[in-house]
Amino acid sequence: MRIVVLGAGFGGLEVSTRLSEELGDAANVVLIDRAESFVFGFSKLDVMFGRTTPKAVLHPYADVVKPGVQFVRTDVISIDPATRRVDTGAGPFDADVLVVALGADVHPAATPGLVEGGHEFYTVSGAFATRDILESFHGGRVIVGVTSTPFKCPPAPSETALLVHDHLTARGLRDRSEISLVMPLGAPIPPSPAASEALLATFAERGIGWFPNRLIRKLDSTRHVAVLTDGAELPYDLFLGVPVHRVPRVVAESGMCVDGWIPVDPLTLETAFPDVYAVGDVTSVGTPKAGVFAEGQAKVVADAILARHRDDADLATYDGYGVCYLEFGKDQVATVGVRFRSGEPPVGDLKGPSIRIADDKSEFGSSRIRRWFGKEWAEP
């Protein structure tokens, strides 16, 4: 049984690792990604705020050496979910089971003025470039703004606003600066009232302006003004934006999407096409677009494939649970454990913030690198 896994992010790495751990050389997995290296989403913020170097957060796929897994670095050019044939820059691949884990692409150019007048920090190159922008910023009005929904890691804009506060404070620029956070949500983390309250209290304490239930419609780069969806205008000197998200074009063209994302069974991650699964940001499964959820979904898919190998009828189902780390600034991190079950309102708790949880977050990353790449993460 040949398993072809498209995308080596959180979802694709977890499916491949679990199959390799359980089946060894018999796993017969082809893992395809166009990127040279894997980067955690949270590492983008670490680089941007000068907490680490770009080199330290790039994990080359060349290091993925796993029994039964062949990593192919190439572009996925087309996907036929009916025949499970995939065309790539390295030729066609036919799958008995296909797992689509291609994530969400971001499109800064889809928001008028963002490319000319602002900076996005959601791509690897955008986040790394923003590090230099922040270093040469001499203070002024900063906006952290979201341009559309859905977007990856809903806590990330709140974390960014708090880290901008720390950055400007450390450089003696906070007194002559303003920070505003524009978010489409009514609360920073809607499923967790405790986390939302703690964040709102921290914004108030640190003088961060909170603009809920709105998006950034466009930037007027000549007047240095952000126009919000309610028509309000906010002047800025530095704009840090979360761009429009969409499925990768190859997924859009595959015929698998409904309303822009791949629908899946929320318990099994099966798509409408037999033996084709989809996990993570590329789906409309109903969980937030975050790595921890992609990973949880990947485990369920790997277990379904293992059950087939073993003629086992007992299938684990996806429980919609994930624990997200939440940077509060001042080296403090909290966790928010959230459960998203279809047909039920999501519920979330809050632990921390504390410095101890910051250490747990670091171990979260290291443990993934150990399992997925078989090496220690040598941070500088």
Residue closer to ligand FAD by CB (options 29, 101) is: 101
Q: How many CB atoms lie within 10 A of CB 116?
A: 11
Residue closer to ligand FAD by CB (options 56, 176) is: 56
Separation in Å, CA 281 to CA 63, 135, 284, 338, 347: 24, 31, 8, 17, 20
Q: Does 289 sit near ligand FAD (CB under 6 A)?
A: yes
Residue closer to ligand FAD by CB (options 224, 330) is: 330
- Give the residue at shortest CB distance from ligand FAD: 9
- Contact assessment for residue 15 and residue 95, using Cβ atoms and an 8 Å cutoff: no
**Of 38-46, 182-190, 205-213, 252-260, which part binds ligand FAD (CB under 6 A)?**
38-46
- Contact assessment for residue 65 and residue 24, using Cβ atoms and an 8 Å cutoff: no
**Of 40-48, 208-216, 223-231, 336-344, which part binds ligand FAD (CB under 6 A)?**
40-48
With CB under 6 A as the contact rule, the residue among 257, 324, 334, 338 that binds ligand FAD is 324
- Contact assessment for residue 11 and residue 318, using Cβ atoms and an 8 Å cutoff: no
Q: 320: closest CA among 299, 335, 342?
A: 342
Residue closer to ligand FAD by CB (options 102, 143) is: 102
With CB under 6 A as the contact rule, the residue among 122, 211, 318, 328 that binds ligand FAD is 122
Find the helix packing angle between 291-309 and 10-23, rounded to 10°: 30
Taking the complex as a whole, the smallest distance from the CB of residue 286 to ligand FAD amounts, in Å, to 14
Measured at the CA of 51, the angle between CA 167 and CA 106, to 5 degrees, comes to 85
**Of 52-60, 211-219, 285-293, 351-359, which part binds ligand FAD (CB under 6 A)?**
285-293
Measured at the CA of 252, the angle between CA 246 and CA 254, to 5 degrees, comes to 155
With CB under 6 A as the contact rule, the residue among 25, 36, 75, 96 that binds ligand FAD is 75
Q: Does 8 sit near ligand FAD (CB under 6 A)?
A: yes
**Of 33-41, 128-136, 252-260, 340-348, which part binds ligand FAD (CB under 6 A)?**
33-41
**Of 1-9, 128-136, 259-267, 329-337, which part binds ligand FAD (CB under 6 A)?**
1-9
- Contact assessment for residue 135 and residue 50, using Cβ atoms and an 8 Å cutoff: yes
Two structure tokens written together for 84 = 């499970």
Residue closer to ligand FAD by CB (options 149, 313) is: 149
Q: Does 56 sit near ligand FAD (CB under 6 A)?
A: no
Q: Does 9 sit near ligand FAD (CB under 6 A)?
A: yes
- Contact assessment for residue 83 and residue 96, using Cβ atoms and an 8 Å cutoff: no
Q: Which amino acid is at 51?
A: R
End-to-end CA separation in angstroms for the chain? 42
Q: Does 44 sit near ligand FAD (CB under 6 A)?
A: yes
d(CA 94, CA 177): 56
Using DSSP's 3-state secondary structure scheme, residue 238 falls into strand
Q: Does 161 sit near ligand FAD (CB under 6 A)?
A: no
Residue closer to ligand FAD by CB (options 30, 290) is: 290
With CB under 6 A as the contact rule, the residue among 23, 69, 101, 179 that binds ligand FAD is 101
Taking the complex as a whole, the smallest distance from the CB of residue 102 to ligand FAD amounts, in Å, to 4
- Strand arrangement, sheet containing 225-228: 216-220, 225-228, 233-235
Q: Which amino acid is at 282?
A: V
Taking the complex as a whole, the smallest distance from the CB of residue 18 to ligand FAD amounts, in Å, to 14
Q: 144: closest CA among 173, 105, 190, 177?
A: 177
**Interface contacts to ligand FAD, rule CB under 6 A:** 7-12, 32-35, 41-42, 44-45, 75-76, 101-103, 122, 152-153, 156, 248, 250, 280-282, 289-292, 294, 324-325
